[in-house]
Amino acid sequence: MIEPFRHNSWATIRLVEFCRDLDPALLDTSAVGTYGPVKETLAHVVGWEEVLAAAIEGSGSQDAPPQFSTLDDLVERTRWLAERWERLLEPEPHAERLIEFGVTGDRRLVRAGTVLAQVVHHGTAPGWSRTPNAAARTRSRRVSPPGSRSPCGRPDGPGRSGTRAPAR
Query: Can you give the pLDDT of all 168 residues of the chain as single tens digits?
Result: 889 999 989 999 999 999 998 999 999 998 887 778 999 989 998 998 998 898 888 876 667 788 889 999 999 999 999 999 999 998 888 888 898 887 666 778 889 888 888 888 875 544 444 444 454 444 545 555 555 444 444 445 554 333 333 343
pLDDT at 32: 80
Q: Residue 108 pairs with which residues in a beta bridge?
A: 101
Cα–Cα distance between 40 and 109 in angstroms, integer?
Answer: 29
Quote the pLDDT of residue 30. 87
List the domains of the chain with CATH numbers. 2-141 (1.20.120.450)
- The SS3 of residue 12 is helix
List the one residue out of 55, 124, 64, 63 whose CA is nearest residue 84.
55
How is 98-121 classified by DSSP, letter by letter?
Answer: EEEE-STT--EEEEHHHHHHHHHH
Which residues lie across from 111 on neighbouring strands? Answer: 98
Distance CA 144, CA 132 (A): 11
Q: Which among 92, 12, 80 has a CA at the least distance from the CA of 56?
A: 92
Residues 6+ apart with CB under 8 A from 76: none
Q: Are 42 and 15 in contact (CB under 8 A)?
A: yes
What pLDDT is stored for residue 143 in this prediction?
56
How buried is 103 (Cβ within 10 angstroms: 0-12 exposed, 13-18 middle, 19+ buried)?
middle
Neighbours of 133 (CB within 10 A): 23
pTM: 0.71
